[in-house]
Amino acid sequence: MSSQDETRSYELVWTDTFTRTARKYLRKHPNLRGIFKDILSQLEIDPSAPRLRMHRLKGKHRNKHSVRLTYSDRIILFLKLTEKEIILLDVGTHDEVYRDA
């Protein structure tokens, strides 16, 4: 086991939807690739890190959380804290990720 694996507390689970959305999002915003990768790395280590600004969502997105990628862009996720998993659901602008499902 590498020292990097030892620092990770959570496993990121990429849903098919997140994989497609992330690929499309990063093609549209190639300048955010580094930030995107950094945010995902931080989620693996400590999802409660203040810089992520993680918060619980309400309404139709109840039981989900959001972290800030940029001022206007978000990553939506579902946390399974008992299993130490973070299921990645969506990425995009505020309006895109909070649209009607």
Over the stretch 55-87, which tens digit does the pLDDT of each residue have?
Answer: 888 888 888 898 988 888 998 887 776 678 899
**Domain, as residue range, for 55:** 3-97
Quick check: 6 pLDDT over 60? no
Residue-wise pLDDT for 13-67, tens only, equals 999 999 999 999 999 999 999 999 999 999 999 988 999 999 888 888 888 898 9
Quick check: 94 pLDDT over 90? no
Which of 68, 78, 77 is CA-nearest to residue 35?
Answer: 68
Q: CA–CA separation, 69 vs 90, rounded Å?
A: 12
pLDDT of residue 8: 79
CATH of the domain at 50: 3.30.2310.20
pLDDT of residue 1: 45
Total domains in the fold of the chain:
1
* Contact in structure between 56 and 47 (CB atoms under 8 Å): no
